[in-house]
Amino acid sequence: MSGDDAIPEFSKAKAGAKAGDGHDVSLTNLSAFASGPGIRSGAEVAAIIAVAVVIIGGIELALRLFNVPHYIMPGPSAIAYALFDEFPLIAPHLGYTLVELVSGFAIGAIIGLVMAAVITQFPFAEKIVAPYILLLVTTPMLALVPLLILRFGFGYTPRIIAVALAAGPMVMINAATGFRRVDSAKIALARSYGASTLQIFWKIRAPMALPMILVGLMIGAIFGLLTAVGAEMVGGGFGLGNRLTTYSSMIQMPQFFAVVLILSTLGILIYVFFFLIGKKWASWEA
């Protein structure tokens, strides 16, 4: 395969000639963005719609054919009807969930970004806090919600804290990976013009980390959504999670699936939002 590439060219035989400077920059592939939505032609659009119609119509048909009762699995038409019919009732709950998600995510993301920027500047400190960060990333923050409710009551506060706790570490580990991607040649370039540490951070390190930061923000936002809905299911009287438990306990399955549909749409919107930002600001890498 690489037979042609293997022809030795003397001008390129400089690998390893450098003494002290690690020039081994591995650019992390932004596959999450590269493989994002990209519809090109009318024919593609038509094909996508045709496949959707076949799948959704097929499900509807199969459910009717086998007489599956509504409380086990409602058909797409029933779900669509419930979505329309119940939306005025669901909308305020969507609002509550969005408030929790946006404020919790903002708090978590800011703290995560600042911590990533700080710890990557001090490799020694990074070694010390690494196990705790791992703990934060791997602990399902939902587990803390009962405790948070006990301490902060049934309002927004415990959920916002839970969302921040879920999103923050995700943003932080990805951003830290980005900040660690040091290209010593680019830093040398900035230093050759007398750049300060702060200038090197804002003009070299931060732009280089941006693609990874965006990946972190996207994963953090999705984790935040999961945690917000989960926290609403655990306790308290509002939010989309609360709707899920309420509808399922009343065996109102079309309404239940309407809420699930809204949640999937939220997830997709989060993905598309960060995809578009990445396309605009980090396309130099993808």
- Out of 34, 80, 137, 190, the only residue in the binding site for another protein (CB under 8 A) is 190
C-alpha dihedral (27, 128, 124, 182), degrees to nearest 10:
10
Could you say whether residue 280 binds another protein (CB under 8 A)?
Answer: no
Provide the token pair at 224.
Answer: 């935040």
Q: How many residues bind another protein (CB under 8 A)?
A: 29
- Side-chain-side CA neighbours of 110 within 13 Å: the count stands at 5
- Side-chain-side CA neighbours of 144 within 13 Å: the count stands at 20
Could you say whether residue 195 binds another protein (CB under 8 A)?
Answer: yes
Q: Which of 254, 234, 256, 253 is nearest to 244 (CA)?
A: 256
> Toward another protein, which CB reaches closer, 126 or 285?
285
- Out of 204, 225, 226, 259, the only residue in the binding site for another protein (CB under 8 A) is 204
Terminal CA-CA length for the chain: 25
Could you say whether residue 124 binds another protein (CB under 8 A)?
Answer: no
Provide the token pair at 69.
Answer: 């009762």
Could you say whether residue 284 binds another protein (CB under 8 A)?
Answer: yes
SS3 content of the chain, % helix, strand, coil (to 5): 75, 0, 25
* Candidate ranges 59-67, 111-119, 160-168, 184-192; the one touching another protein (CB under 8 A): 184-192
Which positions from 206 through 235 interact with another protein, judged by CB under 8 A?
A: 207-208, 210
- Out of 1, 7, 19, 43, the only residue in the binding site for another protein (CB under 8 A) is 19
Q: In angstroms, rounded to a whole number, what is the distance separating the alpha carbons of residues 83 and 90?
A: 9
Rounded to a whole number of angstroms, the minimum distance from the CB of residue 39 to another protein is 24
Could you say whether residue 249 binds another protein (CB under 8 A)?
Answer: no
Could you say whether residue 17 binds another protein (CB under 8 A)?
Answer: yes
> Toward another protein, which CB reaches closer, 13 or 72?
13
Q: Which of 214, 242, 264, 228 is nearest to 103 (CA)?
A: 228
Could you say whether residue 28 binds another protein (CB under 8 A)?
Answer: no
Could you say whether residue 285 binds another protein (CB under 8 A)?
Answer: yes
Environment class of 267 (CB within 10 Å of its CB; exposed 0-12, middle 13-18, buried 19+): middle
Could you say whether residue 26 binds another protein (CB under 8 A)?
Answer: no
Note the residue count of the chain: 286
Task: State the binding string over 129-168 for another protein (x if CB under 8 A, else -).
Answer: ----------------------------------------
Q: Which residues bind another protein (CB under 8 A)?
A: 10-14, 16-20, 185-186, 188-195, 199, 203-204, 207-208, 210, 282, 284-285
